[in-house]
Amino acid sequence: MKNLSTKSDWDQRQVETFLKSSRIPIRIAVDDGDYPLICSVWYQYRDGTLCIVSHKTSKLAKLLQARGRCAFEIAPNDPPYQGVRGKAEVSSNQDDVHSTLRHLIDRYLGDTNRSLAKWLLSRVDDELGFVLTPTWVTSWDYGGRMDDAN
């Protein structure tokens, strides 16, 4: 992961390990005029980028296309609090929406919800793929301060 802040608790290897292994949805924030829109979606970490899929009529997809940038966070809601956040340039990627969606389904659902997987794949032609290329990334890890919470 390029553009890692010098104040990041984790080094590049640790950030990448977290992003590859975590199945926590990414929270994306994008400017929607007076207030930001915050939306959680599944992601895939790939070669220093974060890949997502969103339905082409969704507010998120429309804003990502219009703005071309966002902020993001991937972090659990339970202690010890830790995670990765950053800012990213956003580009559309229609070339492998189908394979990205299949990867996301395998990653987040596995074999646990075939009806949802089938429904998602049935509308793949109406999905848009996006690549988030981070321009700034940092991490935090309060584990050392929260030993009692483990």
pLDDT for res 89:
98
pLDDT for res 51:
97
Tell me which residue of 25, 145, 32 sits closest to 84, measured CA to CA.
25
Q: What is the three-class DSSP state of 125?
A: helix
pLDDT for res 144:
62
* Mean pLDDT per 10-residue segment, the chain (150 residues): 90 96 97 95 96 96 97 92 96 90 94 87 94 97 63
pLDDT for res 148:
57
We find that the CATH architecture of domain 12-140 is Roll (2.30)
Q: What does 134-148 look like in DSSP terms, one character per residue?
A: EEEEEEEE-TTTTGG
pLDDT for res 78:
87
pLDDT for res 95:
82
pLDDT for res 49:
96
Looking at the chain, how many residues does it have?
A: 150
What is the gyration radius of the CA atoms in the chain, in angstroms? Answer: 16
Domain parsing of the chain, residue ranges: 12-140
